[in-house]
Each structure stands twice: as structure tokens, then as C-alpha cells.
Amino acid sequence: MTSAESTSIFTHSWSLYDLITEYNYMFHQEIYTGVGQLLKLRDDLGRYRLLDLGCGNARYLSPCLKQSPPILYEGVDLSEAALAEARGYLAGLPDPVVTLTRGDLLEAVEATDKTWDVIFTGFAVHHLMSADKARFFQAAGRCLAEKGWLILVDVVREENQSRENYLMDYLNYMRDNWNKIPPDQLEEACTHVHDHDYPEYFSTLKEMAAAGGLKASRIVSRYGQHYTLLFARSSLPQI
């Protein structure tokens, strides 16, 4: 299964994902407040280059970027509808070079010939199978600057929790709490999660990152199964 196949629900029905985030069911408000605070800690503010993999419409990252503007931003996503919206959300950035590309996140990070100070990805890597996640970390380690950061926002399994038990817990959470989503769309989202979500343990992600040269790691925040993780080559900021 490719990541292109696994994200097809959002390629064709971007509005569903946007509705889920509008009601903050995946803690986007809290998570991206933390991401904004994290970016402010960089010592190269105004000079850093950011690659956003699976950028969606950049609705939640764009305020962070406006507070701590990069000199270069490239967003990659499979959804043309999301990218069209991203152009609007990113329009207020103060004169960075903005590039938006329709494409697969794994292919994009493996193909890039640039060096990035920050690689960001939000709720996308868990769609990859384990071997492709390992490729992702290898590619990120290759193209990340010496003092660069990989910021990974994603769902994570509890240590020793099976995928089946994770899915049972998460689907119950969705059906019990996502009560403002129309029932047919909620079931569409549940089917997507059941069929295409492959979250890892944090320990597994740490091992994959270290194999790619990113030996420093930290949990920045956690809201239920929704984590913000930070990876770097050797040192991390005090938070």
C-alpha cells in the first residue's frame, strides 16, 4: 500500500478532515500552539527553511509561520483541494519563497535536493507501513541540516499495545466524542482509520530516527494518542 492510496479519503474529501479539525477532535489547537512555541526557540529565526510534508491546507501551521517566518517554505500534499486552500492561508507570510507541490510525502522527502532546517509533518506518517517509515527517517536524516529539527505530529501507540487494540480504542473514542460529525461522514472516517492507520510505538520511532542519524528525541506534548515529537542529530532545545 502506498501513502497515496492510504490518504485517498482526504484527497477526495478534504472537507471531512477540515471539519474534524474545526471541532478540535484531534487537539489541533493545543498541538499547534505548542508547535508555534517550539519554532520560536530556533536560533536561526528569519533564516530557516521548512519542508512541510502532508501539509494539507496549512490552516494550523500558517499562524506559527507568521509568528516565526521562514525564508523558504515548501508544502507537499496529495490533495489539490487542500493545496488550493493552503495558498490562501499562507498568503500573509512576509515575503518567503512559498512552493506548494502535489505529491507523495515519502517520494518528496527522498527526492529533495535541498537542505532543510525544519522538516514538519502533521498526522501523515502513521499512514506509512513500517518499512516506509524507516525510509522516511533515512531520507529526513539525509536532508536535514546539522542543527535541524524534525517535528513529527502524529498518533502513537502505547508501548506493547497491538494495532488491533489501538484501533478499538481510537474508533471508540471517535464514535463517543466526534458527535458533531454527520453519521455517514463519521463512519467514512472510521473506515479510513481502520483500514489505513498504522501508528508505531514511540520507542520504534526513536529507533528508526536514530538509524537515520537523528539520535536525539523528545516527546514535546501528548493529548491522548496525539503526540508532538521532536528529533535532531545530537541536541534538543530546553522546553
pLDDT tens per residue across span 33-55: 999 999 999 988 889 999 999 99
pLDDT value for 239: 76
Q: How many residues are listed for the chain in this entry?
A: 239
pLDDT per position as a tens digit, 187-210: 999 999 999 999 999 999 999 999
Whole-angstrom distance, CA of residue 143 vs CA of residue 109: 8
* Residue 31: all three cell numbers together: 498541538
What Rg, from alpha-carbon coordinates, does the chain have? 17
The per-residue pLDDT for 13 is 57
How much is the pTM? 0.93
Name the pLDDT band for 14 (thresholds 50, 70, 90).
low
Residue 76 backbone dihedrals phi, psi, to 5 degrees: -125, 130
pLDDT score, position 17: 83
Q: How many CB atoms lie within 10 A of CB 195?
A: 12
pLDDT in tens, 118-131: 999 999 999 999 99
In this structure, the strands spanning 116-122 and 144-155 are: parallel
- Give the integer Cα–Cα distance in Å for 189 and 179: 13
CB neighbourhood size of 24 (10 A): 12
pLDDT single digits (tens) 85-124: 999 999 988 877 999 999 999 999 999 999 999 999 999 9
Other beta carbons within 10 angstroms of residue 165's beta carbon come to 12
Q: Measure the CA dihedral 181/201/162/29, to 10°.
A: -10
Neighbours of 100 (CB within 10 A): 19
How crowded is residue 125: how many other Cβ atoms within 10 Å of its Cβ? 27
Q: Which domains does the chain have, with CATH numbers?
A: 1-111 (3.40.50.150), 157-197 (no CATH)
